[in-house]
Structure 1
Amino acid sequence: MPINMGDIARLANVSKPTVSRVLNNSPLVNEETRERVLRVARENGYAINRNAQKLRQVRNDTVAVVLDFGSHRAGRIADPFIFELLAGVSESLSIRNQDLLLSPPSLTDVQSHLDLISSRVADGFIFLGQGEREPMLRDLARAGTPFVVWGGVDPKAPYCSVGSDNRLGGQLAGELFVQRGAKRWLFVGNIRHSEIRMRFDGLRAVAARHADVSVDHLDVEHMAYAPTYQQMGTWLRDNPPPDAVFAFSDTAAIAIVSAFRELGLEAPNDYSLCGYNNIPPAADFTPALTTIEQETHLAGAILVEKLMQILDGGKPKSSMLPTRLIVRQT
């Protein structure tokens, strides 16, 4: 017969509630008793049924992480930046003994998210990227769903978000282009994403102060290397090459370098280039990418902390992380 909690209590010479407290990491049990109970449990092959344990709790200690699958071609996400964020969130959740549930791409509307909460599959959500889900996120907030978002920080948004100062990032790129004497700027990115739109707005704000500067926009629907490379190549065949390019990500910036090389153009001699995120390959790429740094090593811990505050009944404010320009070869 499988050993149960009552058997553990008898063998360890303690009460059944004491065994329960030990298995739930209660601080009410002294260390000697805890070690004895755990030793007996291990020796007799007792395994905790964590699913049954969660059903007895008010919360099930599981957080669903939702990626922006819709912004990537065929739902394939390959940008290292997303996985850096995911790693930070995963580490912070593990420190708090929280399980991570990676939500499926089919989780796209308000009701599907509410169903996940009501069925007690997850306690709350961490969205890594707003993408084009802004209306859905607002509806989810109005429904009282516990969640936090990595993305553009908007003081008017009805939910808590964490992100870099995207508008400042655009301004820093613009000021760099002014210093380098560039006149024909190109912004590459999908401005239906709020954080990318903020970067575009910051770039245009700098350009507006210089009458001889023009800003074009190349809308890239899918946030991946291949579609960016293809659309940049098409744009260059139909338009005069710009002398400065601000890309929505470092991955996009690497694709842009490849597209320019098809025409025999190299940064920084023929054009200036600035990416975004400062992913690890940015410094080792040839030429090394100038970029806007987001402190992703802080982001995971902050996102998890704010979600825990919400689950405990708090109302945390949105946070803006430090944002700085990293000047390299491009």
Structure 2
Amino acid sequence: MKSISRVSSNALLQACHTTAGSLTVFLMSDDLSKTPERGARASRPTMQDIARLANVSMPTVSRVLNDSPLVTEETRARVLDVAREQGYVVNRNAQKLRQARTGTVAVMLDFASHRHGAIGDPFIFELLAGVSEALSIRDQELLLSPPGLDDARAFEDFYRARGADGFIILGQGTRDAMLRTMAQRNVPMVVWGAVGKDAGYCAVGSDNIRGGRLAGRYFRERARRRWLFLGDIRHEELRLRYEGLCQEADPAEGITVDFLPIVSMAFTATAQTVSSYLVSGARPDAVFAFSDTAAMAAVGAFREHGLTAPRDYSLVGYNDIPPAAHFTPALTTINQKTDVAGALLVEKLMQQLDGARARSTLLPTEMVIRET
């Protein structure tokens, strides 16, 4: 990997802009009278100058200059009037760059799903390491979570401005609607998360329903009857795991499934949520956690109430992170083959950049039985 950096999308927007099927646009002045003296570098007003004079944002200037349909006619006329007044013209030589790549891929972490933007789950960094290695092999630069990309339009603007050739998004979170919009606008991207047939975008992820069913079968084999799922089912991945767990719960056998929302994925917050649940008097004899980190937090909370696994309850985590095998007690968990995930995510994105259609991939999902 050449470099990992955070950059300003505004700075990139000032540099160059493209849209599908249009020319790369550079702003330049043809008014030679603005040159202060012969031999001196010509003064070239920036895109920021046009935005300021037209009282619009720089992304709006970009859309106007690239003939985007997302701009109203009134705004388009105002920006073009300012551009003409300043003597701006389109640099036709920039057409040569139309098909050029930047050699940069933006890798987006799902900070919004983590308290105060802090990601403490080792699983995410395992994925990131795999993506970084795969990009390095292809001599691609990795741009880590550039700021300001909060909605589909911001992602599209960043892409059209050639800030990056495409995006690898590690975690859908609650952004499925935004991702579908990005796909409709032909923004190249691959998502780590739930694989949906009707999503419209390429995703790589595990068989989450199967993962839930494996956990349920494990509990049934151990004659557990009061099951608890830990996780925020607003996330599609976690909803599918919960659904798979419920599919294995047969009321005729006296099995019940309770659900405890974990809004913050932070370790301490998860432990506090589980502890409060136990204070209420609940006593599940089986726990399926959305991640190994959450499972570890649950073990601590149960221990504070005098409950240990596997004596008092069975426990299944998810992800099979390296510490899971060395934790006390060692975690039973679901492995989703993250060792190949990074390479697959990069390969799928490169297929799109080469003009091919990248298909979503469902990775094998396996139970790893340990002490809990």
Give the TM-score of the pair, scaled to structure 2: 0.73
Q: Is 2:212 aligned against 1:170? A: yes
Q: State the one-letter code of the partner of 2:181.
A: D
Q: For 1:175 and 1:287, locate their aligned partners in 2 and report how far apart those are by CA, in whole Å.
A: 21
Q: Match of 2:241?
A: 199
Q: What SS is found at the alignment partner of 2:275?
A: helix
**What's the offset of the Cα at 1:69?**
0.4
Aligned-pair CA distance for 1:314: 1.0
State the secondary structure of the residue aligned to 1:101.
strand
Aligned to 2:248, the other structure's residue is in SS state: helix
Aligned to 1:297: 339
| Structure 2 residue 231 is the aligned partner of structure 1 residue 189 | yes
**Which residue type is aligned with residue 259 of structure 1?**
A
Residue identity matched to 1:207: A
2:278 aligns with one of 211, 221, 236: 236
8 Å Cα contact 1:260/1:266 also seen in 2: yes
Q: How far has the Cα of 1:223 moved from its partner? A: 1.5
Shift of 1:123: 0.5
Give the AA of the match of 1:242.
P
Aligned residues of 1:292 and 1:324 also touching (Cα < 8 A): yes
SS at match of 1:320: strand
Q: Is residue 249–residue 275 contact of structure 1 (8 Å, CA) maintained in 2?
A: yes
TM-score by length of 1: 0.82
Q: Supply the distance in 1 between the matched residues of 2:215 and 2:281 (Cα, whole angstroms).
A: 22
Task: State the one-letter code of the partner of 1:122.
Answer: A
Q: Which residue in the other structure is 1:265 paired with?
A: 307
1:67 matched to which residue of 2?
109
Quote the Cα distance in structure 1 between the aligned partners of 2:361 and 2:274: 34
Indicate yes or no: 2:157 matched with 1:115.
yes
Distance 2:201 2:305 in 1: 45
User: Conserved in 2, the CA contact under 8 Å of 1:163 and 1:320?
Assistant: yes
Q: Any residues of structure 2 matched to 1:1-330 within 5 Å, and which?
A: 58-104=100-146, 106-208=148-250, 210-330=252-372
Shift of 1:297: 1.0
Q: CA deviation at 1:56?
A: 8.5
The amino acid that maps onto 2:357 is K
Give yes or no for contact 2:230–2:288 (8 Å, CA) kept in 1.
Answer: yes
- Hey, what's the Cα distance between the residues in 2 that align with 1:183 and 1:324? 23
Consecutive unaligned residues in structure 2, runs of 5 or more = 1-95
Q: Aligned pair in 2 of structure 1 residues 141, 69: CA closer, same or farther (>3 Å)?
A: same
Deviations 1:110-134 (A, max 9, x none): 1111111111110100010100001
SS at match of 2:315: strand
Q: In 2, distance between residues paired with 1:309 and 1:237?
A: 52
Give 1:239 shift.
3.4
Give the AA of the match of 2:288: F
Instruction: Decide whether the 8 Å contact of 1:146 with 1:307 is kept in 2.
Output: yes
Q: CA 1:210/1:61 → structure 2, altered by over 3 Å: closer, same or farther?
A: farther
Letter in 2 for 1:163: G
User: Tell me, what secondary structure is at the counterpart of 1:296?
Assistant: coil
Taking the aligned partners of 2:353 and 2:265, their CA distance within structure 1 comes to 32
Q: Is the contact between residue 151 and residue 162 of structure 1 (CA under 8 Å) also seen in structure 2? A: yes
Report the CA distance shift for 1:138/1:57 in structure 2 as closer, same or farther (over 3 A): closer
Long gaps (5+) in structure 1: 1-53
Deviations 1:174-197 (A, max 9, x none): 000000000000000000100110
For 2:286 and 2:147, the matched residues in 1 are separated by: 36
Read off the aligned partner of 1:60 and give its amino acid letter. Answer: T
> Deviation at 1:211?
3.8
Find the residue that maps to 1:328 and give its secondary structure: coil
CA contact (8 A) 2:106 2:146 kept: no
**Once superposed, what is the RMSD of the aligned Cα atoms?**
1.6
Check the 8 A contact 2:219/2:286 in 1, yes or no. yes
Q: Is the 8 A contact 2:204 2:345 kept in 1?
A: yes
Question: How big is the shift at 1:200?
Answer: 0.3
Distance 2:270 2:148 in 1: 25
Report the Cα offset of residue 108 of structure 1. 1.5
Q: CA deviation at 1:106?
A: 3.4
